[in-house]
């Protein structure tokens, strides 16, 4: 098919690795809080664990992105990152003491931080300026199919073996092992010897912000303004739960959202190359604002289900597109640093967003939370509408 013509072998391998890894991670997503409570974790301790793990992942993306650019290597970071995340799954079942659980969860997220910038740089190198949306969209589509397969397998397993949580952690190692094996088929294109890599501190990637292209900073400012109000999907799930949906129905609607996301990401990425990445991203933000206004104003189950459908299309129109957009305005030699720096800032903003949403929800109610987020999104849309794009950079 013509649609798949520019999908290289390397992109297919990376996409399959992400599919296997996300299947393993999302298999555990529905039962992680339940499992942690059964081994003695309090709600507060679970919150501290997840906050620490996500912060570690976010900040390390910038550091390892810069390290990948400085070394000229991509594949070792990808292989190590996916290996650590895969190995951490059975460790959480073997070691049940809180300190070891913290270590295992941190290893999982640290692995994500190691691989993200290098992986996205490889995807960027495998594309041209005219196919960035398509390539990133295809990878995002394959990755998100893992979020469909994982929870589906978990529900099927728990139907036959209820409360056998530990075994599920061992089962999750199987797709993780497939990801590790697939990563050995990747090869770095840069074979020439490079000068000795300069030592770099954990936060040295922050210097990139000062030296980055003006266009990069303008785009990232808009993206981060949105991120600081884009709270966790948990709040959408809680809203659905408030309306009386059962636990199985809530997991089902989460799977439905990811299925829509996975099916939409590749064609929307392809179309974004035709109409422009900026236009597609604005379209995604428009859908996001509809979802959040709808969540605030509606109590109808069927409308809420429709909003989750729209939310899946929003994700497909923004996640891969934003990284493709960033890679198009940054120098090729700094691609991993550029994406890693953005991802690090985004992680900090995500923590702020979820804390802010939780506070507003507690003080003023769920509807106010959704309305505030929707209004903030409309302001970000206005920012991008008046945003002047420079001519596309050739690679």
The model's confidence at residue 165, banded by pLDDT at 50, 70 and 90, is: confident
In terms of average pLDDT, the best of 29-33, 325-329, 339-343, 371-375 is 371-375
Share of the chain above pLDDT 90, in %: 35
Over residues 231-249, the pLDDT tens digits come to 777 778 778 877 777 767 7
Cα within 13 Å of Cα(357), Cβ side: 27
Cβ-based neighbour number of residue 145 at 10 Å: 22
The mean pLDDT of the chain is 84
CA nearest to 104, candidates 95, 114, 117: 95
Query: Residue 82 has what pLDDT?
Result: 93
Is 10-185+206-385 CATH 3.30.420.240?
no
Residue length, the chain?
395
Q: How far is CA 280 from the centre of its chain?
A: 18
Mean pLDDT of 142-153: 91
* H-assigned helices in 229-276: 234-242, 247-275
Q: What is the pLDDT of residue 51?
A: 64
What confidence tier does 390 reach under pLDDT thresholds 50, 70, 90? low
Q: How many CB atoms lie within 10 A of CB 291?
A: 24
pTM of the model: 0.83
Task: Name 247's Cβ contacts closer than 8 Å, sequence gap at least 6.
Answer: none
Gap between the Cα atoms of 360 and 370, Å rounded: 9
Per-residue pLDDT band at 278 (split at 50, 70, 90): very high
Distance CA 147, CA 259 (A): 8
Asked if 11 and 126 count as a contact pair (C-beta separation under 8 A), the reply is yes
Instruction: Kindly indicate the confidence band of residue 395, based on its pLDDT and cuts at 50, 70 and 90.
Output: very low
Separation CA 220–CA 326 (nearest Å) = 8
Backbone angles phi, psi at 129, to 5 degrees: -55, -35
CB 108 within 8 A of CB 53: yes
Min mean pLDDT across 52-61, 63-72, 115-124 is at 52-61
Q: Do residues 20 and 81 lie in contact, with contact meaning Cβ atoms separated by under 8 Å?
A: no
DSSP state for residue 334 in the 8-state scheme = G
Question: How many other C-beta atoms are found inside a 10 Å radius of the C-beta of residue 10?
Answer: 18
Name the residue ranges covered by the structural domains of the chain. Answer: 10-185+206-385
């Amino acid at each position: 098919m013509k649609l798949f013509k520019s999908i290289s072998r390397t992109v297919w391998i990376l996409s399959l690795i992400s599919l296997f890894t996300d299947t393993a991670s999302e298999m555990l997503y529905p039962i992680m809080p339940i499992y942690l409570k059964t081994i003695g974790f309090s709600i507060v301790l679970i919150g501290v664990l997840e906050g620490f793990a996500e912060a570690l992942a976010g900040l390390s993306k910038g550091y390892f992105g810069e390290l990948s650019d400085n070394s000229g290597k991509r594949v070792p970071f990808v292989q190590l990152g996916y290996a650590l995340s895969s190995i951490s799954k059975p460790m959480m079942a073997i070691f049940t003491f809180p300190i070891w659980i913290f270590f295992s969860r941190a290893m999982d997220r640290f692995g994500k931080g190691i691989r993200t910038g290098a992986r996205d740089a490889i995807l960027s190198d495998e594309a041209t300026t005219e196919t960035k949306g398509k390539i990133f969209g295809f990878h995002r589509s394959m990755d998100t199919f893992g979020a469909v397969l994982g929870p589906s397998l978990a529900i099927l397993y728990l139907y036959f073996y209820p409360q056998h949580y530990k075994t599920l952690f061992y089962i999750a190692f199987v797709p993780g092992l497939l990801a590790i094996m697939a990563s050995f088929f990747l090869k770095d294109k840069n074979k020439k010897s490079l000068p000795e890599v300069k030592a770099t501190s954990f936060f040295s990637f922050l210097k990139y912000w000062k030296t980055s292209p003006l266009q990069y900073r303008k785009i990232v400012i808009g993206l981060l303004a949105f991120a600081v109000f884009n709270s966790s999907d948990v709040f959408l799930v809680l809203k659905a739960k408030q309306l009386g949906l059962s636990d199985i129905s809530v997991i089902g609607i989460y799977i439905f959202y990811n299925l829509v996301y996975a099916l939409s990401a590749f064609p929307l990425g392809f179309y974004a190359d035709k109409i422009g990445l900026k236009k597609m991203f604005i379209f995604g933000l428009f859908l996001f604002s509809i979802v959040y206004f709808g969540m605030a104003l509606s109590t109808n189950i069927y409308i809420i289900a429709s909003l989750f459908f729209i939310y899946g299309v929003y994700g497909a129109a923004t996640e891969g597109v934003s990284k493709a957009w960033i890679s198009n305005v940054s120098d090729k030699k700094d691609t991993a640093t550029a994406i890693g720096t953005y991802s690090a800032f985004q992680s900090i903003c995500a923590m702020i967003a979820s804390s802010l949403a939780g506070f507003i929800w507690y003080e003023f109610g769920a509807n106010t939370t959704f309305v505030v987020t929707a209004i903030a999104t409309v302001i970000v849309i206005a920012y991008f509408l008046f945003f002047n794009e420079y001519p596309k950079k050739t690679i």
